[in-house]
A and B are shown apart, each in its own frame.
Chain A
Amino acid sequence: MRSNKKKYMPPVNSHTVLVVAAILFALGLCGVLTRKNVLFILISIEIMLNAAGLAFVAAGAKWRQPDGQAMFLFILAMAAAEVSVGLALVMQIYHQHKTMDVGDLNKLKDE
C-alpha cells in the first residue's frame, strides 16, 4: 500500500456539512417545539447550538479562515453557561412545582 505516502483524504464537501448542520438544527427545533419535558427541551436547544457551531466550522473550512473555529469556541462557552443556568432553573422548577411538563408550567400569563 502507499503507507509511506501521505494518506490522501478527499476534502469533505462543505456543502454536505452544511446540510448535516441544517438537519441537526431542524431536529433540535422539532425537539424544542414538541417535547414536553423541560430537560429534553434544554437538550434540544443544545443540539441547535451545536448545529450552528458545525455550520460555522464548515463555513470557516470553506473559506480557509480561522474565524469559524474561533466562533465555535465562543458558542461552546456560551452553551456551558446556558446549560448551567438552565439546569439550575430546571431544578428549582422541579422543587417548586413537582413537574417537568411545560404544559403545566403556564402560570406566567396575563390573567
Chain B
Amino acid sequence: MNELAFIPALPLLGFLVLSLGGRSLSRNAVACVGAGSVCIAAGLTITLCVQYLQGGNAARVDEWVAWRWFASGPLAVPVGFRVDALSLVFMFIITFVGALIHLYSTAFMRDDRGYARFFACMNLFVCAMLILVMAGNLVLLYLGWEGVGLCSYLLIGFWYETPANCAAANKAFLITRIGDTALLIGMFLLFRELGTFDIAGILQASPGHFAAASPIITAIALLFLAGGMGKSAQLPLQTWLPDAMAGPSPVSALIHAATMVTAGVYLIARMHVLFQLSPAAMTVTALIGALTLLVAGCSAMVQTDIKRILAYSTISQLGYMFLALGVGAWSAAIFHFFTHAFFKALLFLAAGAVIEALHHEHNVFRMGGLRHRLPIVYWTFLAGAASLAALPLVTAGFFSKDQILGYALSAEDGNAVLWLSGIAGALITAFYSTRLILVVFWGEAKTPVTRVPGRWITVPLIILAFFSITAGFLEWPRDLLDVQLFSGLLRGVLPATTTRYQGEGGAQLTAVIATLAGIFTGFQLYYRRPALLQRWRRGRLTAAGRQFLLDGWKFDVVYDRFIVRPFVYLTRVNRSDLFDSLYGALVRAMQEGNRQLSRTQNGSLRWYAVGVLVGMLYIIALLL
C-alpha cells in the first residue's frame, strides 16, 4: 500500500462514514470525521511536498497502480495514480485550502439540519478532485471530472427546499455537461489516434504522431479546451458560476478556490503538449481568456450581491489563467491558480462570515460600517481584496498576475492586444475590489450585527490571509529579485515559456499604474464623491449600461431566448412523441383488423362449413 492511496481514500472514507451513518452520529462526531479526514489528507500531502522539495528532483514522479479497472482487447485501464510536481501543487491546494474550509464549516454550518449530508458531499468533492489531479490515465481523470460535477450539483442545491437553488444546481450541472461531452469526444479522438489513455504515454507519443498544426490535433486540443471552458466557466459557458452562489458560502469557497473551476486549468496544463502542437488552439485559449476576464470583470463592477461580485471576479481571474495558458506561460497560470486559491477562499469565507453576521444579508449596499464591529473579518478581507486587486509587492496576487501580464506581452505567442486586455482587467479588478471594501466595511452601518463569528471561523481566515500575502514571495519578477521557487518546482513537468525579449520593466510599471489607478478610481467614486455615482445612476444611458452589466451582458437572456425556449417549444410539440404515435397507429390498425377478423369466429357450425366450402371452391377455381 502506497501512501499516495491514503490521500484520496481518506476523504472517500469520510464520505462513506457520513453518508451511511451520518444520521446516528452526533454533531461533534460528524465534524471530527468530516474535517478530520481532509485534515489528515492535507498533512499527508504536505509530507509528500516536503519530500519533493528535499529531494530536489523536479522531474520526480510517483506512480502507484491500485488495481486493473477494466480491460478490453488492447485497451486496459488501471486505477493508477501518477503524481508529479503539477499534481502535487493542485493536491496541496485542494487538501490544504479544503481542510481550512472544512474547519470553517464545522462552525459555519453548525445549526444546519443537513450537517452530516453537507460534510459527506464536501468530502466526496475533495475526493473527486484529488482523483482528477492524481489520475494516471484519462479515464480515471474523467471519473474525477464527473465526480466533481456531481458534487457541485449536490452542494449548490444543498438547500433544496428553495426552487431557485435547485434551478441553479441544474444550470451548473447542465452547462458544465456541455464541456464534459466535448472532453469525452476529444478523449475518444485521442484514443483513436494513439490507442492509449495513459497520460504519460499520450504526452510522449503526441509530438511524434501528430504533425504540428494538423487539423486532427487542433480538433482534439479545441475539444479539450471546450471541456476546460465548461468546468472553468469561461466564455461562453460562464453563466452557471454566478448562479452557483445559491449554495452555502463554504461550498462557494471550495468550488472557486480549491476544486471544480480549476479543473479546466489543470486539464490544459496537464495536456500542454497537445496545445503546443496546435498554435490555433493556443490562440483560441488566449483569446477566450482575455475576453472572459474583461466581460466578467465589467459585470463584477456593478453587482450588488457580495457573493456574485466574488463569483464574477473568479471568472475574471480564471480568464487570466486561460490567457496565461494560451500564451504558453504554463507555470505562470499554475502560480496564479496557487495564489488565487488562497485569496479567493479567504474572500468567500469572509463574505460568508459577513452574511451570517448580518442575518443573511447579501446586498452590499445594505452592509457598511463593519470595519469596527468585525475587525478580524475586516482585516482578513482587506488582505484578500488587496491580493485580488494585486496591490504591488505586498500581496500574493501581484506576483502571479504580474507574471501573467509580463508573459502576455513578451511570450512568443503573446501580443499587445492580449496584454492590453490584461491591463484593462487589472484596472477593473482593482476598482471593484476597492468598491467592495469601501461599501461593505466603510461608511455608516445600515444593518445591525446579530452574530459575531467565533474562533473556528476566524482562525481559518487568518491562516488564509497570511498565505494571501506571503504565497507570492515564492516567485519574484526577474529584474527585482532572483527567486523563482515555484516555476523551478514545475520545471520538470511544464516547459519554460519562450520569450521574444528580456526585460519586463516597462510593462510591469504599466500594470502597477493600472492597479493603482483602479484603486484610486474606486476610492474617488465610492468614498470621496458619491454624488457623481448618483448622477450616473439617474442618467438614462449609464443606467441602461449598468443594467446590462448587472445581467452579466445578457448572456442568460440570449441563451434563454435562442436555446432554452426553442428547445422547450420542440419538446412541447413532441410531447406525445412523434415517432411513438407512428408506431401507435400501427398497433391500432392491427387491433382493428383483429377485431374485424375475430367477428368471423361466431360459434355457428354452419358458418364454418360455408367457410370451408368457399375456401375449397376458391382453391379448385385456382387449380382449374
Contact = CB atoms under 8 A, between A and B. Distances in A.
Partners in one complex: yes
Contact of B604 (A32, A41, A106, A110): A106
A107 interface: yes
Contacts of A32: 609
B592 to A, nearest CB: 15
A27 to B, nearest CB: 14
Nearest to B600: A110
B598 interface: yes
B599 interface: yes
A110 B598 contact: yes
A108 interface: yes
Contact of A102 (B598, B599, B605): B605
Nearest to B595: A110
A108 B603 contact: yes
Contact of B603 (A29, A33, A41, A106): A106
B620 to A, nearest CB: 13
Contacts of B601: 109-110
A37 to B, nearest CB: 12
A33 B609 contact: yes
A41 B608 CA distance: 13
Contact of B602 (A29, A105, A109): A109
A39 to B, nearest CB: 13
Contact of B613 (A29, A102, A108, A109): A29
Contacts of B609: 32-33
A69 B601 CA distance: 39
Interface string A80-111: 00000000000000000000001101111110
Contacts of B604: 102-103, 106, 109
Interface string A11-32: 0000000000000000001001
Contacts of A41: 605
A8 to B, nearest CB: 38
Contacts of B602: 106, 109-110
A109 B601 CA distance: 5
Contact of B606 (A102, A108, A109, A110): A102
A110 B599 contact: yes
A102 B609 CA distance: 12
Contacts of A110: 598-599, 601-602
A68 B372 CA distance: 127
Nearest to B607: A106
Nearest to A32: B609
Interface string B603-624: 1111001100100000000000
A71 B575 CA distance: 69
A109 B602 CA distance: 5
B599 A33 contact: no
A33 B604 CA distance: 11
B610 A109 contact: no
Contacts of B599: 110
Contacts of B610: 33
Contacts of B606: 33, 102
B608 to A, nearest CB: 10
Interface string A37-49: 0000100000000
Nearest to B599: A110
A26 B599 CA distance: 29
Q: Which of A32, A41, A105, A110 has the most CB of B within 10 A?
A: A110
Nearest to A36: B606
A33 B606 CA distance: 6
A107 B613 contact: no
A94 B541 CA distance: 103
Contacts of A102: 604-606
B603 to A, nearest CB: 3
A43 B609 CA distance: 15
Contacts of A108: 603
Q: Which of B604, B606, B610, B613 has the most CB of A within 10 A?
A: B606
A32 B605 CA distance: 9
A107 to B, nearest CB: 6
A106 B610 CA distance: 15
A22 B201 CA distance: 93
Contacts of B613: 29, 33
Interface in B586-604: 598-599, 601-604
Nearest to A41: B605
A70 B38 CA distance: 100
A55 B609 CA distance: 22
A107 B602 CA distance: 8
A71 B494 CA distance: 100
Given A29-B613, A33-B610, A105 B605 contact: yes
Contacts of A103: 604
Query: Which 4 A-B pairs rank lowest in CB-CB distance, beginning with the nearest?
Result: A109-B603, A106-B603, A110-B598, A110-B601
20 contacts: A29-B613, A32-B609, A33-B606, A33-B609, A33-B613, A41-B605, A102-B604, A102-B605, A102-B606, A103-B604, A106-B603, A106-B604, A106-B605, A107-B603, A108-B603, A109-B601, A109-B602, A110-B598, A110-B599, A110-B601
Interface of A: 29, 32-33, 41, 102-103, 105-110
Given A33-B610, A108-B603, 15 more contacts: A33-B606, A33-B609, A33-B613, A41-B605, A102-B604, A106-B602, A106-B603, A106-B604, A106-B605, A107-B603, A109-B601, A109-B603, A109-B604, A110-B599, A110-B602
